[in-house]
Structure 1
């Protein structure tokens, strides 16, 4: 309305256009709740080794950002513009480890509505920390996250770029023999706690499923064989208790040593993994066999000692077989269900919105912009 009044008063078109731009900037994507809106797109260019023991992974990440800069709306010649004098969001990746290699470039573009947008490309190479959920190890599927935040805690609202979606490139995945990398990424706009305050953050998560065949053959199968061999000690007559105990304790100590060797490949976690549970079951079975071989000395003079020995053998062997069958079915069903849930199910470009308590919230109302025209 005010623009039409200005036109009637004879004010030139340039001032009217400038006024319209200021109006659009104040009510559209320039500011949300007195915060500068920065649209971010994360491209995970390359992923190196995923280190389970130290809960970290190597990667090369390209963060692309853009934001409104009304002061550049009517700039005709970009050569004389010093972009260092203009506002900058000071974005960085929060979950990097040490001092990563960072390369940054800044440009600006103007669209057909004469709205200027500053553009940032920040390429980061280094180590990224990630708290791994290992309860289902080695049949686990991990979320590897990249968290983009700003040093301007009170000034910036980070959102997913509506013109260019975040993605991951799988062609240069260096750890493909041990992990399977999914093509989809999950994007979450969230309010992350920062001391006594909160700050806007964009979390981009890619999913990687561990290939379990190595652990099946080198851990589960070996434990299965060691435990199964313990039943061969019943072939020794009950009167030769010392021979039974010698064989049983040798297998038990082998299994215990194997358990400690397996633990060296995992971080010190306060819960049991699937592999831990299976190895502990094998140790428990061996321990029960050792206990029976020690107790059988009390029944050597009993006329039915051979029958008692056979009953214990059948009971322990039945428990062993039943556990293995149940465990295998459960692992297979759980692993397949997690694979289906990790596969792409949400539409391309879907964004999850959460608050500081990680509770889902409604997305902000924003309109799709027209394509920009680069200078």
Structure 2
């Protein structure tokens, strides 16, 4: 009995302590993010692979994607660790990467790995993310339906640019699968994936800081066949049928106007069809302009029908009007044809340039891998130059377009090579990967 009484008293004491702990805790889901004790700016390498690109919604200006993302960064605080099971990842510093333009996230799986260099006990942390989400994209629809769109996934770090910077992992290629694209009936997906770092604008932040961004961009081109044959061609036929009003005698204006205005109302109905295929935008697309010009032509035809009943020589007036209106139709379609040709040619030139940029980078990465068998590179500018040469591609060193003070950037780079005081926790010199050593993802 006495032992049972002691057990009951201990149980009551444990329960009281739990209640006290619960009252002292400010929030059960509160997370504190620790700054680096050495104060260094961390370069985080990113590699992206779009596994599947889903529905592209022009009206909502959204697209869905299934993406695999990996981030690598050196972590001196884990010196001596060899296995990921030895690390409490909830208690470690991390780059706090978020999906900046995500509308909703359906799935997000995160894993951590430790990668060791031969002969060095300071590991590289690899954070792998498998994400299925819907992203917001501001679409440019001036050339609709002859438009192409940049579908961009934006990553952002919640650390300001003084603590974290993004860069591409120059040891492995970014990829996108075109065979799993579900919108192939409406869009053509290109096989290049352009990834470049940037930073937020001052108006994108609620604080005085600016934050690093990483843009992962795929290109799609709209297949125009549906809109050309089902809207533009039908509008052309309706407009051409307006000339049948000349078969009605000029002295019967009511019948003539009945034909013209009926066709005009049909055009108005088609205008609503075009509107349903687009978001609420304040500018006219190329298809909008064509439909409106067809309607303006029909209005001119209605004015001609009304005037034909009051002029003295109605037959001559009809003949001249028919010739002038036919000339307007021919000239308008000629201008539209030239304009479409120029737009399509300009678009194809831009996409070929993007393809060329992507393929050149892939060739450089392949040559580097064949020479070194290294799959993680880009922690220093020297490593980047070893792959792409002295002339860095756009987005690798973009301090000028980011608006960063170049002198400040130099100070950061120089200070990063200085060994911090030994009394700081986790303070060790930066360890640069050797070309003779191998990192394996």
Name the counterpart of 1:4.
none
RMSD over aligned Cα, in angstroms? 2.7
Q: Is the 8 A contact 2:252 2:309 kept in 1?
A: no
1:201 corresponds in structure 2 to: 213
From 288, 295, 306, the counterpart of 2:307: 295
Q: 1:217 aligns with which of 202, 218, 229?
A: 229
CA distance in 1 between partners of 2:188 and 2:141 (Å)? 16
Cα gap change, 1:241/1:78 in structure 2, threshold over 3 Å: closer, same or farther? closer
Shift in CA distance, 76/172, structure 1 to aligned 2, threshold 3 Å: closer
Query: Structure 1 361/342 Cα, relative in aligned 2: closer, same or farther at 3 Å?
Result: farther
Matches within 5 A, 1:114-263: 114=120, 115-153=122-160, 154-193=162-201, 194-195=205-206, 196-263=208-275
Distance 1:355 1:292 in 2: 62
Query: Residues 189 and 285 (structure 1 numbering): CA distance in 2 closer, same or farther, change over 3 Å?
Result: same
Task: Give distance in 2, aligned partners of 1:76 and 1:368.
Answer: 17
In 2 relative to 1, CA 106–131 (structure 1 residues): closer, same or farther, beyond 3 Å?
A: same
Greater helix proportion: 2
Distance in 2 (CA, whole Å) between partners of 1:49 and 1:139 is: 19
Once the two structures are superposed, what CA deviation does each residue of 1:130-189 show, in whole Å capped at 9, x if it has no partner?
000000000001000011111223521111112123221111000011100111122221
2:276 to 260, 264, 276: 264
Distance in 1 of aligned mates of 2:283 and 2:142: 7
Say if 1:356 and 1:93 are closer, same or farther in 2 by CA, change over 3 A. Answer: farther
SS in 2 for 1:345: helix
> How far apart, in 2, do the equivalents of 1:77 and 1:106 lie?
10
Offset at residue 354 of structure 1 (A)? 4.4
Match 1:312 to one of 321, 325, 349: 321
1:86 is matched with which residue? 92
**Aligned pair in 2 of structure 1 residues 79, 57: CA closer, same or farther (>3 Å)?**
closer
> Partner residue of 2:70?
64
Deviations along 1:255-308, one digit per CA (max 9) or x if unpaired, are 011101210110011111010000000000000000111122221xx1x32111
Q: Is the counterpart of residue 54 in structure 1 residue 54 in structure 2?
A: no
Question: Shift in Å at residue 86 of structure 1?
Answer: 2.1
User: TM-score, normalized by length of structure 1?
Assistant: 0.84
SS in 1 for 2:172: coil
8 Å Cα contact 2:83/2:114 also seen in 1? no
Contact 1:93 1:147 in 2 (8 A): yes
With normalisation by structure 2, the TM-score equals 0.72
- Equivalent residue pairs, number: 343
Deviation track 1:301-335 (CA, whole Å, cap 9, x = no partner) reads x1x32111110111011110111122112202321
> Which structure features the higher share of strand residues?
1
Secondary structure of the residue that 1:272 maps to in structure 2? coil
Query: Which ranges in structure 1 are unaligned for 5 or more consecutive residues?
Result: 1-29
